[in-house]
Amino acid sequence: MSSYLRIRNLFKNFGDFTALKDISLDIEDGEFVCFLGPSGCGKTTLLRAIAGLDLQSYGSVEQAGRDISDLPVTQRDFGIVFQSYALFPNLTIERNIAFGLENLGKSKAEVGARVTELLDLVNLADQRKKYPAQLSGGQQQRIALARAIATSPGLLLLDEPLSALDAKVRVHLRHQIKELQRKLGVTTIMVTHDQEEALAMADRIVVMNHGVIEQVGTPTEIYREPRSLFVADFIGETNQIHSTVTEPGCLALGRARLRGQTGELAPGQKVVATIRPEDIVPHEPAFREAEDSDSLLEVTVDEMEFLGSFWRSRLTGAALDSEVLYADFSINAVRRLSIDEGKSLTIELPPSRLIAFAAAGSAGETHGEHG
């Protein structure tokens, strides 16, 4: 069975600048997919190409088995919510929502009933006679959503729908949108640069950078098994340590030799080893376990910072040379092992969580302090 939305070898050029390079992507019926990436990486451009608002330069788009690559907007089947919401300022809420229902051969009563239904769906039934400017940002956002799904489109496109709102409303609306999407079962693509939003809402995430897709996967896949340094760095937080591959599955890290995921990297290659702060396991000083000794490091706790549910700890050690590791220790572990600033400690870097990437390419981007 073929997927609901099929994108093949899609390119988009603005003059000499290539905003999208060879994008191929499949989206299943009823899926909630997020395009995630830093600002300017081409998320909006891809969304607009799918919508037909700004046609791609090359490549094809198929929706529900129909080739829509070069169709005008009006002949496609989607609803869209923009960052600005683009609500018609001079029309009341109900007329905004009814805008797309008016020439479908429905009677006034039918349109009115549908508007009521939609207003109930977004919990704004009491606002129908007001103008957009009289509503809060979050309410406007929901009206825009109601207008977009009024005609029951097969595809819902959301371009940073939450980024204009303040943090609290944003978290609340995340759930509302997700719930609505599940209830309607409508295939949805949401553009965001907020990884938390993407991780919380998406069935699958498409991570983009510089006009290419870096990785596609479920939130846990993306988080646990990043396939590039960019993804590892962009999603969540990670330590980056310069090291060398000694043999497959083995890394020279400072003076230490550790087991880790080296994939197809060749021995002798300079790499960046990554591990997430919460994946570092603390043990008592001089802890040894015969079979795992090549995952262990002796370190000193330099600094500790309490971040509510855990301690962010800065670790240095002779074995690390000048490199620094950050680890998140649970309150429980800190109490049990009496971890404190200045104390020594054995840490375990589980081999499955220590992942190496080639140092070249996008490595120039984002090295920096964590926390």
Partner 1 sequence: MASTADALAAAGRPPKARPIKPRLGRDDLIMRGFMAVIALYLVIAIALPLYAMLSKSFSTYSFDLTAYEFQVSDEVGNFDAPPVSAAALNDELQAVSPEDLSTSSDGRLPATSFFPDFSFRSPVMYKIRGTSADAVYLVGTERFSGTEWREVDSNNFRRVMLRPARDIGFANYVTYFSTPALFQSIENSIFISALSTIITVTLAFGFAYALSRSCMRLKGFFRLVALAPILVPSLLPGIGLVYLFGNQGMIKELLLGESIYGPIGIVIGSVFFTFPHAMIIITTALAISDARLYEAAECLKASRWKIFWTVTVPGARYGLISAAFVVFNLVITDFGLPKVIGGQYNMLAVDIYKQVIGQQNFEMGAVVSVVLLMPALVAFAVDRQVQKKQVALLSARSVPYQPKPNRRFDWLAFGYCGLIAVFIVGLLAVCQYAALIKFWPYDLSLSLKNYAFDLMDGGGWDSYYNSIQMALLTAVAGTAVVFVGAYMVEKTKGFETGRSLFQLLAMLPMAIPGMVLGLAYIFFFNEPANPLNFIYGTMAILVICTVTHFYTVSHLTAVTALKQMDREFESVAASLKQPFYKLFRVVTVPVCLPTILDISIYLFVNAMTTVSAVIFLYSPTTTLASVAVLNMNDAGDIAPAAAMGMMIFYTNAGARLIHLAVSKGVLKRTQAWRFR
Binding site for ligand ADP (CB under 6 A): 14, 17, 19, 37, 39-45
CB of 268 to ligand ADP, least distance (A): 37
Residue 44 sits in the site that holds Mg ion (CB under 5 A):
yes
Contact of residue 236 among Mg ion, ligand ADP, partner 1, none (CB under 5-8 Å per partner type): none
**Residues in Cβ contact with 142 at an 8 Å cutoff, skipping those fewer than 6 apart:** 122, 123, 124, 173, 176
Question: Residue 62 CA to chain centroid, in angstroms?
Answer: 24
Q: Are 291 and 259 in contact (CB under 8 A)?
A: no
298 Cα distance to chain centroid: 35
CB of 162 to partner 1, least distance (A): 17
DSSP 114-162: HHHHHHHHTT-GGGTTS-GGGS-HHHHHHHHHHHHHTT--SEEEEESTT
- Cβ contact 286:346 at 8 Å: yes
Concatenated DSSP letters for 218-269?
Answer: -HHHHHHS-SSHHHHHHSS--EEEEEEEEETTEEEETTEEEE-B-TTPPTT-
Token look-up 């959503």 returns: 145
Choose one: 94-102, 172-180, 233-241, 322-330; the region binding partner 1 (CB under 8 A).
94-102
176 touches partner 1 (CB under 8 A) = no
- By C-beta, is 45 or 239 nearer to ligand ADP? 45
Is 46 or 118 the residue whose CB approaches Mg ion more closely? 46
Copy the structure tokens of residue 75: 């002949």
d(CA 205, CA 164): 21
CB of 11 to ligand ADP, least distance (A): 12
In the bound complex, what is the minimum distance in angstroms from residue 139's beta carbon to partner 1? Answer: 13
| Among residues 3, 57, 316, 362, the one that binds partner 1 under rule CB under 8 A | 57
Question: Which residue among 103, 322, 332, 338 contacts partner 1 (CB under 8 A)?
Answer: 103
161 binds partner 1 (CB under 8 A): no
Q: Is 55 in the site for partner 1 (CB under 8 A)?
A: yes
Q: Which is nearer to ligand ADP, 138 or 211 (CB)?
A: 211
41 binds, among partner 1, Mg ion, ligand ADP, none (CB under 5 to 8 A by kind): ligand ADP
| 198 contact choice in ligand ADP, partner 1, Mg ion, none (CB below 5 to 8 Å, kind-dependent) | none
Dihedral sign of CA atoms 247, 253, 254, 258 in order: negative
Tell the smallest beta-carbon distance from residue 55 to partner 1 (Å).
Answer: 5
Nearer to partner 1, 14 or 306 (CB): 14
Of 30 and 38, nearer to Mg ion (C-beta) is 38
The DSSP secondary structure of 40-74, one letter per residue, reads: TSSHHHHHHHHHTSS--SEEEEEETTEE-TT--GG
Distance of closest approach, residue 369 Cβ to partner 1, in angstroms: 32
Q: How far is the CB of 62 from partner 1 (least distance, A)?
A: 13
Q: How far is the CB of 46 from ligand ADP (least distance, A)?
A: 7
* 245 phi/psi in degrees, rounded to 5: -80, 125
Helices (H), 276-337: 331-336
Token pair recorded at residue 270? 């300079």
* Pairing mode of beta strands 212-217, 239-247: unpaired
Q: Which residue of 131, 184, 246, 351 would you call a contact of partner 1, by CB under 8 A?
A: 131
- Binding residues for Mg ion, rule: CB under 5 A, are 44
- Binding residues for partner 1, rule: CB under 8 A, are 9, 11, 13, 16, 18, 21-22, 51, 53, 55-59, 69-76, 78-80, 82, 84, 86, 88-91, 99-100, 102-103, 131-134, 147-148, 150-151, 153, 212
